[in-house]
Amino acid sequence: MLKIISGGSAYGARLITDQSFRRGDLIYRIEGHRFTEQPTYQTIQVGRNQHIEELGVIAYLNHSCQPNTLIDVTRMEVVAVRDIAVGEELNFFYPSTEWEMDRPFICLCGAPQCVRLVAGAKYLSVDTLSRYFINQHVREMIFETLAQTVTVERDA
C-alpha cells in the first residue's frame, strides 16, 4: 500500500510505502491513464510526443538522483531498483522518462552524484545518463541527437 504524505519534503507532497519491497519487485502497475501530446509537470512522457496523464498515486513520486524505483513505460510499471524499507519515500529519476521538462527545477536530493538542474535527459551527458535506467523513447532521442551532432561535425 502506498500513502500520500503532505509536507515534510522539499518537494511538498510525497509518496511513502507502508510495506517493504525487494529489488525487482513490482510496486505499481500504471493503468487507467489517458494519453496527451501536451506535457505538463503532472504527466509522464512515454513516447516522442506522447505523455500520460491521470497518474493517480504515482503523481506523487518525487525525483531523486539516487532513486529507489524506476518507471518502465513499455511495461507501464513502477519497479523497485533496490530493497526499500517500510516508511521510505518512493522516488525516481525524472530524466529517465522526460526528454525536456515542462518545469525544470534545482534538485535538492543531496545524492553525491546529483545532477543539480533537472531539465530533462536532453540536457545531461550520455555519461551521466548511463548510470540510470533510461526508457526506450529517451534512448532513441539521445541517439538521434548524437547522430545529428556527428553529421554536423562531418559536414563542417
Q: Which domains does the chain have, with CATH numbers?
A: 2-155 (2.170.270.10)
**Would you state the pLDDT for residue 31?**
93
**Would you state the pLDDT for residue 107?**
95
Where residue 3 falls among pLDDT bands split at 50, 70, 90? confident
Contacts 24+ apart (CB under 8 A), 134-137: 134/95, 134/96, 135/46, 135/71, 135/72, 135/73, 135/74, 135/96, 135/97, 136/73, 136/74, 137/45, 137/46, 137/47, 137/48, 137/73, 137/99
pLDDT digit string (tens) for 16-49? 999 999 999 999 999 989 999 999 989 999 999 9
pLDDT digit string (tens) for 107-129? 998 999 999 999 999 999 999 99
